[in-house]
Amino acid sequence: METIIREGSPKTPYVRLDGEKGLIEIKGRSIPENSVEFYKPLIDWLDSYGNQPLDSTSVNVQLEYFNTSSSKCILDIFKKLELIYKKGSKVHINWYYEEDDEDMFEAGEDYQSIINIPFTMIEMEE
């Protein structure tokens, strides 16, 4: 499975999709001009990965900010991961947030309430 790495920019997050290690990372800011266009290759990759996922997949999400259109795309990613989880693979999401960032904490809780995947909320010190 091909590994996809996208370096972050002021408007887009760093992304790593590693099918050999079962590791997905999304870090930084997500305010792309076109969220659907930015996230589509990631969702397509997850479709392929979902056909033959590893026994265990770890997802690390460490966003400092994301806009509304990105939040929908992130939910789409989590829904793809939920399908993998329902097929019997282990999937675990680590949601990182800074200790004084209530918005990011609440966003993680919102996703956790929608998606049926083990979620760990991880507070980071600044």
What pLDDT digit, counting tens, does each position of 54-78 carry? 999 999 999 999 999 999 999 999 9
CA torsion 25-27-32-34 (nearest 10°) is 20
Determine the structural domain holding residue 22 and report its residue range: 4-124
Identify the CATH number of the domain in which residue 26 sits.
3.30.750.24
Whether the pLDDT of residue 126 is over 90: the answer is no
Domains in the chain: how many in total? 1
Q: Give the Å distances, CA to CA, from 48 to 72, 80, 109, 123.
A: 20, 10, 28, 32
pTM of the model: 0.94
Task: Report the DSSP pairing between strands 23-30 and 56-66.
Answer: parallel
